[in-house]
Amino acid sequence: MADESEPSKNGPQGQIDPITVAEIASIAKTRIKKEFWDYYECGADTQTVLHENEAAFKALKILPRVLRDVSKVDTSTTLFGRSYSVPFGFAPSAMQKLAGGEGEMDVARAAVKLGVNLTLSSQSTTSLEDVMSCKKKSSGGADPAFWMQLYLTKDPEKSVPLIKRAEAARYEALVLTVDTPVLGNRLNERKVPLVLPEGLHLANIEPSTHSPQTERKPTFNRRLMDSRTHEAAEAILKEAGGGTHSNSLTWETTLPFLRKAAPRMKIILKGIMTPEDAVLAVKYGADALVVSNHGGRQLDETSSTIEALPAIHAALATGSSELGKKNRIPVLFDGGVRHGADIFKALALGADFVLIGRPVLWGLGYKGQEGVETVINVLERELSRTMALAGVTNVEGITREYIGVKNVGGFGVSKL
């Protein structure tokens, strides 16, 4: 049996022709500069939850049903009234030009061409206006929604201009990351601080030009992460002047602030890991939430996202059917998705939509826009095949009845 970590070589004249996300990652690792690869791949502290995000999927087993007509499998879904051909989109990830190609522009072009939902990181290396121009220039692609990810700063008013720009550019939602009052303890980043190379900048935050005499430093948030004493941390906070991530957000103030700043945009909270916070998200008027542990880059001692998902779904579920209850607001999901079967499992356990993070970066590293499209197509084919083999013909039919879990001791499977 072929090792899925090694790329296939069945393309024209021996060219590498990856057919799995693992193979795409293997190629990308050889093409992305090591310090940037390490930045994207690292988690917090001992990186326990980083690995558990993937490993937890393996404890879940699909319970297939047979003798069902699966001649027509439909992977399409709707979200906020917009139709998508697949139930997954792109999670926000920072500084995509470090991965390869034209970074965010390649990702946006792929999203438009194949009709995939996209969330742009506020820490992108391409301006939000340029990314949105990919939709305006498209002549034959689909019309997926573009969303804007946001960190509120310690002085929240400093975030308002960026919010207004996103609203003016027709981004349809603000995705507020709520799990970063401070950055997690990312040891790789502390040992090799990330500094953008000449020619790149945080296009939504920094000016586009730097004086040759200006020393290029890690961001205030990264310098704060690496502070070795309380006094050093306080000095960085003072120097930042309210520009670091806010550590004083509250339910009572944050949602009203965003509604006032962007009255025409949906508000999505990214980083929900407990049913209690999911209920509060509904109470305070969020339009959707994302079950996410920041790809294992924040609190290392939390659970994997797929383990957190069922309780959150149970807290938000409405309706009479135990197997097919709907969430009161859309529940999105990210963390460790590497195969179409992972998407199936997340949908079965209560997600309405799935977001893909690192595989998009691997696609960029592999072959720019074409590489991102390859990732989308690989996952779509895997999901469609998984649905057919499980006996499911549409996304709404993917429910908890199809999922079992390995018994304690490792032998046997019980329904979850």
> Annotation-wise, does 92 bind a ligand?
yes
- CA-based R_g, the chain, Å: 21
Tokens of 360: 């998009």
Residue pointed to by tokens 């742009």 = 120
Establish whether 31 is an annotated binding residue.
Answer: no
Strand partners, 354: 88, 333
Task: Judge contact between 361 and 28, C-beta under 8 A.
Answer: yes
Tell whether residue 335 is among the known ligand binding residues: yes
List residues with catalytic annotation.
Answer: 294
**What tokens appear for 127 in the block?**
């301006």
232 annotated among ligand-binding-site residues:
no
94 is in an annotated binding site: yes
Alpha carbon separation from 215 to 16, 188, 372 (Å, rounded) = 41, 22, 34
184 is in an annotated binding site: no
84 is in an annotated binding site: no
Is residue 335 within 8 A of residue 307, CB to CB? The reply is: no
User: Is 177 annotated as ligand-binding?
Assistant: yes
Task: Please state, in angstroms and rounded to a whole number, the distance separating the CA atoms of residues 86 and 283.
Answer: 29
334 known ligand binder = yes
Q: Is 336 annotated as a binding residue?
A: yes
Report the 3 state secondary structure along the chain. Answer: CCCCCCCCCCCHHHCCCCCCHHHHHHHHHHHCCHHHHHHHHCCCCCCHHHHHHHHHHHCEEECCCCCCCCCCCECCEEECCEEECCCEEECCCCCHHHCCCCCHHHHHHHHHHHCCCEEECCCCCCCHHHHHHHHHHCCCCCCCCEEEEECCECCHHHHHHHHHHHHHCCCCEEEEECCCCCCCCCHHHHHCCCCCCCCCCCCCCCCCCCCCCCCCCCCHHHHHHCCCCHHHHHHHHHHHCCCCECCCCCHHHHHHHHHHHCCCCEEEEEEECCHHHHHHHHHCCCCEEEECCHHHCCCCCCCCHHHHHHHHHHHHEECCCCCCCEECCCEEECCCCCCHHHHHHHHHCCCCEEEECHHHHHHHHHHHHHHHHHHHHHHHHHHHHHHHHHCCCEHHHCCHHHEEEECCCCCCEEEC
Residue 358 marked ligand-binding: yes
Asked if residue 39 belongs to a known ligand binding site, the reply is yes
Q: Indicate the annotated binding residues for FMN.
A: 92-94, 121, 149, 177, 270, 292, 334-338, 357-358
Binding residues for glyoxylate: 39, 151, 186, 294, 297
Binding residues: 39, 92-94, 121, 149, 151, 177, 186, 270, 292, 294, 297, 334-338, 357-358
